[in-house]
Amino acid sequence: MSRPVVLQGVGRLGSAILEGWLKTGAVDPADLIILTPSEKPAAEAARALGARINPPLEALADARVFVIGVKPAKWFEASRSILPHLASDAVIVSVMAGVRRETISQGFDGRSIVRIMPTTGVAQAQGVATIWAADAAARAVGEALFAPIAETVHLDDEAAMHAATAVSGCGPAYYFAFTRALAQAGVAEGLTPEAAVRLARATLRSAAAGVEGAEALDALIDRVASPGGVTQAGLLALNENGALDRAVESAVQAAVVKSTELSG
């Protein structure tokens, strides 16, 4: 057994990360220690494959990585009992939105820290993970843990994590909300609710497949929207007087403000 990876918190994001690791083998279940106050399906699936759930804290002494997956408001309370049991060279991996490296460092006696903002698509090994660390070694740890389950994007400036969180971390919910609105509009135009939802969801999957290459986004739009055609008419209505651009900009700005507030 190699030095273990500790995951504290198996909520929505923690569960997604765990599911991705199990799916891809990015972390050997036998090398996983999971800390959770309640029973979680993802944790139980990991236990069946050899992971340890809530062992005595002395078991954390050899951990090479400690992943904080709890809610930002609760991380210090949840983690302070862990500190005396962690090796001095353990790397702290934070997937908490808004909590700065400086703040986390104070809670973990200056240990090496990497901040990562993943999407829940990591559960299917199709996520996105923004990575920032002050040192190359910590950055490499983050890359090793998340590259198998996400497209990783490295930032040079920690302050940019707010924007990355607003665009990528929050982004899936924006797309889901648009897909819901598209389905509702289809119903308003005569589709049955079942047909409208199936069409909207399938269209989202189809559109996502189209961005896998390096083709410019404008070119992808032009491929669907012929001049003077049906799609172009819809796009013109959607962004009349810049309405769509302003709505998306407002959403990202609001998320940046909230992320900044959480950073204290």
The DSSP code sequence of 170-194 is: SHHHHHHHHHHHHHHHHHHTT--HH
CA dist 3 and 64 (Å) reads 6
What value does the mean pLDDT of the chain take?
94
Angle of helix 193-210 relative to helix 171-188, nearest 10 degrees, comes to 140
Question: How is residue 54 annotated by DSSP?
Answer: S
Stated pTM of the model: 0.87
Between β-strands 113-118 and 127-133, what pairing exists: parallel, antiparallel or unpaired?
A: antiparallel
Q: What is the pLDDT of residue 122?
A: 96
Residue 36 annotated in ligand binding: yes
- Confidence label for 264 from pLDDT (cuts 50, 70 and 90): low
Report the interhelical angle of 12-24 vs 41-48 (nearest 10°).
30
Q: 130 or 106: whose pLDDT is higher?
A: 130
Is it true that 5-156 and 171-262 share their CATH fold?
no
CATH class of the domain comprising 171-262: mainly alpha
Residue type, 255: A
pLDDT digits (tens, 9 = 90+) for 29-53: 999 999 999 999 999 999 999 999 9
Q: Give the H/E segment covering residue 216.
A: none
Instruction: Tell me if residue 99 falls in helix, strand or coil.
Output: coil
Per-residue confidence (pLDDT) for residue 220, from 0 to 100: 93
Provide mean pLDDT across the span 151-175. 95
- Determine the average pLDDT of the residues in 253-263: 90
φ, ψ of residue 49 to 5 degrees: the values are -100, 5
pLDDT surpasses 90 at 2: no
Instruction: Report the top-level CATH class of 5-156.
Output: alpha beta
Domain definitions of the chain by residue range: 5-156, 171-262
Average pLDDT over residues 140-166: 96
